Structure 1
Amino acid sequence: MSMQLYGSTISPFVRKVAVFAEEKGIALDLIPTAPGDASPAFRAISPFGQIPALVDGDFSLADSSAIVTYLEAKYPEPALIPAEAQARGRTIWFDELADTIVFGAGRAMLFNRVVGPLFRGGVGDAAVADAAERDQWPGILAYLDAQVGGRDFLVGDTLTLADIAVASAFASTLHACAPVDAAVYPDLARYLAAILARPAFATRVAGERAFIERARARVVK
């Protein structure tokens, strides 16, 4: 029996786990679940209503970073969290950066331009989204453009959690803001295009984009 992953892949955290699992060849059944779901069954596996939550037999775990750590330990090949000390440290840094800094700004844009207006009855503050894109986003783009440089991956010469986490944070944010300007941030734009073209990302992101466009069409009728 495959594991169950609760959440929606519009969330960068849920997508991060889904992509991580697919890149390892791990089968997961996605159970659509909204953040904050208060049902007793969901709270039994995610006490504070967080998504994603994972169920593997009689074991459950919430929080994306905890889940990918569990999956890496249970299914060590192919390795997506390096064993070498410096490489592992940098991988965990980029995972944290993606979750807190990249999607810290991204959340303000995604919630106020997409989730609130399209899925929560028109709740959204455009000024908050505009401020995040104007004041926070350029520094994030510049930092990551420099970190990527001419490389294909953020850590070493193969795909790691660092790439999956960063690309997932961008995939969610890019549902709500302009594409990365390749004239200004050429290395980051090239890198993201390549990572997001991987099958584990591409199919999901295309489905999310179609879902958002259908919701937008309903709202503007």
Structure 2
Amino acid sequence: MLELYQFEVSQYSEKVRLILDYKGLEYRKIEVTPGIGQIDLYKMSGQTQVPVLKDGDTIVSDSTEIAFYLDRKYPEKPIIPNDPVLRGQCLLIEEWADESIGLKGRTAFIGALNQNPNFRTSVLPKEVPDFLKTLVGAVPGDLLSVLGTGVGFGKDAVKEANKALKQDLEALSLILQHRPYLVGDEPTLADLAVAGLSIILKLPPGDYLDIPDTLKGKGIPGLADNMTYDSFFLWRDRLYMEYRKPLGKRSQTEGSPTTINID
């Protein structure tokens, strides 16, 4: 069985999970423990970032490379068009999504955590004691923004990321108002990449991720709750309902990530 080494709330891991589900491929999720687990991941793949796909003796890292590999190895339900124009459009949108929704979305997400105490505490695991959630929520947002400046998550970086994402979401909403997919008449890598990466903006409302129910359907204030982008998120959620496999329909092995354990 295919094995996906991942973080459950990683948008790049979700991009691959959506591709796997769309193609109808069975796979087992293996949750990588930050720190020690990433050292083990390096021993296996030569790098520390998720996602990493293991298919027998074949190891593939990077979500885009995994997508290309899956389309070559498992050509049923192709996700990269053969038509030159459609192929070019698909690959262009996929690359843009990685750099815009993926990276800018991460910056905006961290900014939302910094500036919204309620949102910050809501993403904490349910096992965290209430008193600790209170302490986390009480940390001043301005202090967190100052601490984030040195690593690219300061107030100005967050402001620019949100501005760019608003333009991106408006563009996507306009494109998808009167067409079912971004490229052509069938789902492609462009659609699956944009949809999967967008969980960082607004988590899907269904039972697709192993997260607390209170988080489902929640997202970055100003983006997730802006009616201007309703057509985009409705499109994304329709894509999930049609192709993403809910956790309840998976076997226990598939639906419950196991800790990385590399010999």
**TM-score above 0.5, yes or no:** yes
Greater Cα offset, 37-46 or 59-68: 37-46
Moved more, 43-52 or 157-166: 43-52
- State yes or no: 1:181 paired with 2:180: no
In the alignment, which residue of structure 2 is the partner of 1:16?
15
Question: Is 1:171 equivalent to 2:171 in the alignment?
Answer: no
| Paired position in structure 2 for 1:194 | 238
Contact map agreement 1:79 1:160 (CA 8 A) in 2: yes
Q: Work out the CA distance in 2 between the residues paired with 1:130 and 1:67.
A: 29
2:159 is the alignment partner of 1:131: yes
Partner amino acid, structure 2, of 1:66 = E
Which is higher, the Rg of structure 1 or of structure 2?
A: 2
TM-score, normalised with respect to structure 2: 0.66
Is contact 1:14-1:51 (8 Å) kept?
yes
Q: Does the aligned pair in 2 maintain the 1:81–1:161 contact within 8 Å?
A: yes
Deviation at 1:7, TM superposition (A): 0.7
Q: Within 2, Cα distance between the matches of 1:59 and 1:20?
A: 18
Which one of 179, 202, 211 corresponds to residue 151 of structure 1?
A: 179
Local SS of the residue matching 2:48: coil
Q: Indicate the larger mover: 151-160 or 102-111.
A: 102-111
Q: Partner of 1:217 in structure 2? A: none
CA, structure 1 residues 195+202, in 2 after alignment: closer, same or farther (shift >3 Å)? farther
CA distance in 1, matches of 2:54, 2:109: 27
Cα 1:39–1:109 shift into 2, 3 Å? closer
Equivalent residue letter for 2:81: P
Q: Work out the CA distance in 2 between the residues paired with 1:33 and 1:154.
A: 32
The 1:14/1:186 distance shift into structure 2, 3 A limit, reads closer
The separation in 2 between residues aligned to 1:128 and 1:36, in whole angstroms, is 29
Report the CA distance between 1:96 and its aligned residue: 1.1
TM-score normalised over the length of structure 1: 0.77
**Where does the alignment leave 5 or more consecutive residues of structure 1 unmatched?**
205-221
Runs of 4+ with >3 A deviation: 34-41, 111-119, 121-130, 201-204
Residue-pair matches, total: 201
Cα distance in structure 2, aligned partners of 1:170 and 1:146: 16
